[in-house]
Amino acid sequence: MEFQVLGPFEVRREGGPVPLGPAKQRTLLAILLVRANEIVSSDRLIDELWPEPPDTAGNALQVYVHKLRKALEPERRRGESGELLITRAPGYMLRVEPDQLDAGRFARLLGEGRAAAEAGDPATAARALAQALELWRGPAYADFAYDPFAQAEIARLDELRLRALEARIDADLARGRDAALVAELEALVAEHPHREGFRRQLMLALYRCGRQGDALDVYTDTRAKLDGDLGVEPTPALRELQLAILRHDPSLASPAKSHSASPRSGRRRWAFALIASAVVVVAGTLVAVRVSGRSPPIRVVRNSVAVIDARTNKIVDDVVVGDYPGPLATRNGSVWVGNIGNSTLTEIDGETRRAEFPASAQRPTDLAVTDDALWIANASDFERFPQSGGGTVSRRNIGGGRLEVTQIGPLRVPDEMGTYIATDGTAVWAANATGHTVVRLDRRTGRILTRTQGVNPGGIAVGYGAVWVPEPRLETVVRLDASTGKVEARIPISGGPTRVTSGEGGIWVTTTGGHSAVWRIDPESNETVAVIPVPPKARRVATGGGYVWVTSGRGDEEDERHPGVLSKIDPATNEIVASVELGFRPDGVVFSNRVVWVAVAPI
């Protein structure tokens, strides 16, 4: 006798299918199969069979049991105790051996496949798991898809089927069948868009087929899908796989191409690939992937933060962040990223370079960090109508908790993107172009302490006892007293000055008007002492490590004449001493942990 529930409901014996009678009788048998080898009370069976039981339900139940016994055990004589459908107070029990039920055979083969995987035998694992999946003829308990009694069991079996499918694909990946799996995995990702296991396997298979760009696109799509549908980020394992692909880590190579591994090391690699395929195994220990001197060059991708060694000018890492990253800020070993496209914040650990997504933010166009707070300049919220929220500064306690929002510019200005924030670690200053205002903020509360009107800012910086505010339209840089906010000087800077920073012996201002350049102002004399041409479309500027760092290039998607670059300026000579090509649209830049961090937007 064989009971089949992995598809249309059937009972078969050697002579063929067993006729099970009317619908209620078939449902009764299915209920008993869901709870095979358990006593199910008559009251429970009646409630499951009849939403509103008639007075004759008890008698009808006994008739159904009697007819099922005749169908299942036709050789059984009247008065003899049956072997399958047994009466046990307070109800009935269906006694079934594991291999009599296709779901039981499926569970046994799944266990055998997992055991073979743990033993480092992917070929045996793949065979057992394929046999397990062949038992499925359709959805579990297909005839009872909408019956309440079957819902939990259907969900359990469906989850086991997906796990068996993931395990079988892992086994095939361990056998080097990468190309043959791509089409199957693409279909599975489309069918189960929120299941990261299939996306992980697709990324690995694509990478092994030489399609690194497509593999990274799967990760980007996964992030967008999970965030848009569920408001969550990919798991650390998937993020580690993305980083390993960027680094071309040798552990991701197809086993079919790795002929030098010993049998023991091959088993270790296979067991690890089944679990995550995203980190390196060293002496049996899982560790984060690191860059070695023999690794291929790092590929910078869209929506990431490129990491450049300040000494060698080499790209040493690329950390995927949110959509359209712009401003960067750093303090206490962390690098903060404002993702303008999807209104989120990313915190990157300066040592491990792990990215965390701690909070949402409203179109963060500028950032600053003090010891206890992150300061965010907010642009207008395009998701609302009328647009709102621009011209504000948010003070967010580091580590979560209290959030204060201070209105700097006018209320409800459409497409408000002209708010800027800066700090020297002690004082916090903000500026707003629409309101022609510069303010000093209380670093503990965000409350406005002083306000200076009549300044039309394009950026802001604090340093050398002053506040420095470029005015693009007036082609000047305003110097304010850092205590009172009083205007002390207006320094002519032609070419439309925008971003500004302090350090390395000067005030450094970018211009993008008639020519793209960095102007150096002596903070003692307020005189411009150098004009350093940089590649077109200069964006942001930072100091650190003994140099000045400027991002430039790519005004739009069509503008391929001006590829994105990072320029390294030596303040001793006021000359560019190195250029690092990044592609796409580099924006925010900071120096921290002996490296330079550059936000890379998609265009």
Judged against a pLDDT cut of 80, whether residue 285 lies above it is answered with: no
Taking Cα atoms as reference points, which of 138, 190, 188, 137 lies closest to residue 163?
Answer: 188
Dihedrals phi, psi of 117, to nearest 5 degrees:
-65, -45
Which range among 21-25, 72-76, 253-257 has the greatest average pLDDT?
A: 21-25
Q: Which of 15-29, 374-388, 426-440, 497-511 bottoms out in mean pLDDT, i.e. has the lowest? A: 374-388
Residue type, position 317, single letter: D
Judged against a pLDDT cut of 50, whether residue 273 lies above it is answered with: no
**pLDDT > 70 fraction of the chain, expressed in percent and rounded:** 88
Question: Going edge to edge, which strands form the sheet with 419-423?
Answer: 419-423, 428-432, 437-441, 448-453
Q: Which of 127-141, 275-289, 395-409 bottoms out in mean pLDDT, i.e. has the lowest? A: 275-289
Q: Give the integer Cα–Cα distance in Å for 596 and 348.
A: 13
Across 311-323, b (16+ Cβ under 10 Å) vs e yields eeeebbbbbbbbb
Residue type, position 464, single letter: Y
Higher pLDDT among residues 386 and 14, named by residue:
14
DSSP 92-120: EEE---GGGBHHHHHHHHHHHHHHHHHTT
Place of tokens 């000047």: 476
User: In DSSP terms, which residues pair with 520 in a beta bridge?
Assistant: 508, 530
Tell me which of 3.90.1150.10, 2.130.10.10, 1.10.150.170, 3.40.50.12160 is the CATH number of domain 304-601.
2.130.10.10
In this prediction, residues 3-28 reach a mean pLDDT of 89
**Is the four-CA dihedral 200, 202, 207, 209 of positive or negative sign?**
positive
| Digit-coded pLDDT (tens) for 419-471 | 999 999 889 999 999 999 999 999 999 999 999 999 999 999 999 999 999 99
In this prediction, residue 260 carries a pLDDT of 38
In this prediction, residue 557 carries a pLDDT of 55
Judged against a pLDDT cut of 70, whether residue 383 lies above it is answered with: no
- pLDDT interval class at 560 (50, 70, 90): low
Place of tokens 């358990």: 38
Q: Give the integer Cα–Cα distance in Å for 365 and 377.
A: 6
In this prediction, residue 77 carries a pLDDT of 61
Judged against a pLDDT cut of 90, whether residue 268 lies above it is answered with: no
In CATH, the number for domain 1-175 is 1.10.10.10
Q: Give the integer Cα–Cα distance in Å for 327 and 309.
A: 20
Parallel/antiparallel/unpaired status of strands 547-552 and 565-570: antiparallel
Q: Which residues contact 321 (CB under 8 A, 6 or more apart)?
A: 303, 304, 305, 337, 339, 346, 348, 355, 599
In this prediction, residues 517-526 reach a mean pLDDT of 96
What the block records as the tokens of 150 is: 């079957």
**Is the four-CA dihedral 442, 447, 453, 457 of positive or negative sign?**
positive
Return left, alpha or beta for 456; rule: phi > 0 is left, psi -120 to 50 is alpha, else beta: beta
- pLDDT interval class at 28 (50, 70, 90): very high
In this prediction, residues 133-161 reach a mean pLDDT of 93
Kindly indicate whether the domain formed by 176-296 is annotated with CATH number 1.25.40.10.
Answer: yes
In this prediction, residues 6-13 reach a mean pLDDT of 91
Burial of 403 (0-12, 13-18, 19+ CB in 10 A): middle
In this prediction, residue 561 carries a pLDDT of 62
Residue ranges of the domains in the chain?
Answer: 1-175, 176-296, 304-601
Q: Give the integer Cα–Cα distance in Å for 502 and 444.
A: 24
Higher pLDDT among residues 492 and 342, named by residue:
492
Higher pLDDT among residues 82 and 204, named by residue:
204
Mean pLDDT of the chain: 86
Q: Give the integer Cα–Cα distance in Å for 474 and 539.
A: 19
**pLDDT > 90 fraction of the chain, expressed in percent and rounded:** 60
pTM comes to 0.57
Burial of 325 (0-12, 13-18, 19+ CB in 10 A): buried
| Digit-coded pLDDT (tens) for 469-511 | 999 999 999 999 999 999 999 999 999 999 999 999 999 999 9
Q: Evaluate whether 508 touches 535 at the Cβ level (below 8 Å).
A: no
Between 57-72 and 42-49, two packed helices, what is the crossing angle to 10 degrees? 100
Higher pLDDT among residues 17 and 388, named by residue:
17
In this prediction, residues 159-167 reach a mean pLDDT of 95
Judged against a pLDDT cut of 70, whether residue 164 lies above it is answered with: yes
